[in-house]
């Protein structure tokens, strides 16, 4: 069996398993690129060195947004896709030993999460013109993102009948076709009710958030609109995107207000993370909040002797 045939078999396996069309398409793109680079060899002839050379060639390709090379996250996506293919082949006895076992996993830099500050949120949420349908929808959507921590894809695929306004609960479909319930607050409910009054007059789909023609919104369109609101608000030092609302929800859930603070297990459930490790990044919240906590707990301030009073030199 050659590599192209193996990729086709793996694609059929993914289809039966129920992987999303978008995920299957991205895997097929990466694997077909590898097949072309390796000149579609027999499975038995593929070595770890061949795959390392392919990964090295990918690394040297120009990246998006003017980058000289592809990002670490792109490299990791290629590695994961190849590893999944060869794990599938190894399980079925089609290729042993697994050549990906000796291909190093790319390292990805970890950065601190930068959520919106309270002042930045006030400025951002003041931008939409709520007298227009699109402005009212945008503000409602931003409030929903902020209040639930949902991914933008989850919000835009949310059906109307999956929202329980009495209980203030929405049933969203997350990654891996895993449905979960997310709560939202009274302020978000008020904006949803106002938005739905305007939306009812349009010939809309069954989805909650739609464009002015009643059709499905795309994540790209929402990203562009939120980014434009950020520019209009003059925001600096933070990425203005739908996902930043998710980060802001996670950080504020753990920080809490007064005596009320959320915990990582409940946050994991709300955000739909498959492992606790994905939620732990929200523990490392932004610097100013960490400094305030340090001011209260600092061993240096409590235990270390203060320096002697500085003497002034007389000139």
Does residue 220 fall inside a structural domain? Answer: yes
- How many domains is the chain built from? 2
> Are 61 and 205 members of one domain?
no
> Are 188 and 218 members of one domain?
yes
Residues 6 or more apart whose CB falls under 8 angstroms from that of 269 comprise: 180
> Are 75 and 179 members of one domain?
no
Last residue of a domain, one of 102, 134, 166: 102
> Are 231 and 92 members of one domain?
no
For every residue of the chain, DSSP letters joined together read -BHHHHHHHHHHHHHHHT--HHHHHHHHHHHHHHHHHTTS-BGGG--HHHHHHHHHHHHTS--STT-SS--HHHHHHHHHHHHHHHHHHHHTTSS-S-GGGGSPPPP-------PPPHHHHHHHHT-S-TTSHHHHHHHHHHHHHHHH---HHHHHT-BGGGEETTTTEEEEE-GGG-EEEEE--HHHHHHHHHHHHHHTTS---SBSSB-TTSPBPPHHHHHHHHHHHHHHHT--SS--SHHHHHHHHHHHHHH-BTTB---HHHHHHHHT-SSHHHHHGGGS--HHHHHHHHHHH-HHHHHSPPPPPPPPPP-
Treating both helix axes as pointing N-terminal to C-terminal, what angle do 219-233 and 118-125 enclose, rounded to 10 degrees? 110
| 69, HSE (Cβ side, Cα atoms, 13 Å) | 9
pLDDT recorded at residue 143: 94
- CATH number at 262 reads 1.10.443.10
Q: Are 36 and 4 a contacting pair, CB within 8 Å?
A: no
> Are 125 and 47 members of one domain?
no
Does residue 257 fall inside a structural domain? Answer: yes
> Are 147 and 253 members of one domain?
yes
pLDDT recorded at residue 19: 86
> Are 207 and 235 members of one domain?
yes
pLDDT recorded at residue 18: 86
Q: Are 136 and 130 a contacting pair, CB within 8 Å?
A: yes
> Are 97 and 151 members of one domain?
no
> Are 153 and 259 members of one domain?
yes
> Are 51 and 131 members of one domain?
no
Does residue 140 fall inside a structural domain? Answer: yes
Rounding to the nearest 10 degrees, give the CA dihedral for residues 24, 179, 125, 240: -30
Does residue 268 fall inside a structural domain? Answer: yes
pLDDT recorded at residue 86: 96
Does residue 111 fall inside a structural domain? Answer: no
**Residue ranges making up the domain that contains 218:** 118-289
Does residue 112 fall inside a structural domain? Answer: no
One digit per residue, pLDDT tens: the chain, 315 residues? 899 999 999 999 999 998 888 889 999 999 999 999 999 999 999 999 999 999 999 988 876 555 677 888 899 999 999 999 999 999 999 988 999 999 999 988 777 678 898 899 999 999 999 999 999 999 999 999 999 999 999 999 999 999 999 999 999 998 878 899 999 999 999 999 999 988 876 656 789 999 988 888 999 999 999 999 999 999 998 999 999 999 988 888 877 765 666 677 888 888 888 777 777 777 665 444 555 555 655 566 566 666 666 656 655
pLDDT recorded at residue 287: 43
Does residue 158 fall inside a structural domain? Answer: yes
pTM > 0.85: yes or no = no
Q: Residue 140: which of 75, 216, 197 has the closest Cα?
A: 197
Last residue of a domain, one of 102, 137, 161: 102
> Are 91 and 157 members of one domain?
no
> Are 176 and 232 members of one domain?
yes
Residue 32 φ/ψ, nearest 5 degrees: -65, -35
Any idea which residues carry the catalytic annotation?
Answer: 151, 175, 243, 246, 273, 282
- CATH number at 20 reads 1.10.150
């Amino acid at each position: 069996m050659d590599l192209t045939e193996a990729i086709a078999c793996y694609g059929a396996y993914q289809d039966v398993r129920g992987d999303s069309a978008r995920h299957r398409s991205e895997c097929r793109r990466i694997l077909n690129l590898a097949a072309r680079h390796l000149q579609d060899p027999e499975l038995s002839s593929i070595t770890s060195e061949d795959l390392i050379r392919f990964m090295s060639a990918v690394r040297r390709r120009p990246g998006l947004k003017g980058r000289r090379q592809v990002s670490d996250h792109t490299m990791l996506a290629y590695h994961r896709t190849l590893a999944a293919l060869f794990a599938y082949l190894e399980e079925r006895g089609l290729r042993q030993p697994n050549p990906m076992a000796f291909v190093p996993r790319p390292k990805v830099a970890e950065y601190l999460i930068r959520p919106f500050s309270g002042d930045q949120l006030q400025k951002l949420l003041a931008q939409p013109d709520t007298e227009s349908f699109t402005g009212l929808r945008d503000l409602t959507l931003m409030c929903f993102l902020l209040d639930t921590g949902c991914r933008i894809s989850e919000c835009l695929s949310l059906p109307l009948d999956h929202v329980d306004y009495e209980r203030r609960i929405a049933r969203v479909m997350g990654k891996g076709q895993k449905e979960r319930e997310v709560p939202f607050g009274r302020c978000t409910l008020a904006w949803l009710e106002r938005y739905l009054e305007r939306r009812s007059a349009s010939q809309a789909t069954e989805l909650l958030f739609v464009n002015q023609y009643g059709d499905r919104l795309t994540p790209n369109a929402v990203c562009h609109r939120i980014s434009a609101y950020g520019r209009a608000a003059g925001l600096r030092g933070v990425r203005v995107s739908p996902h930043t609302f998710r980060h802001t929800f996670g950080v504020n859930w753990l920080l809490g207000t007064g005596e009320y603070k959320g915990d990582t297990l409940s946050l994991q459930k709300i955000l739909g993370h498959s492992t606790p490790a994905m939620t732990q990044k929200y523990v490392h919240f932004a610097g100013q909040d960490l400094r305030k906590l340090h001011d209260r707990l600092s061993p240096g301030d409590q235990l270390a002797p203060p320096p002697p009073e500085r003497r002034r030199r007389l000139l």
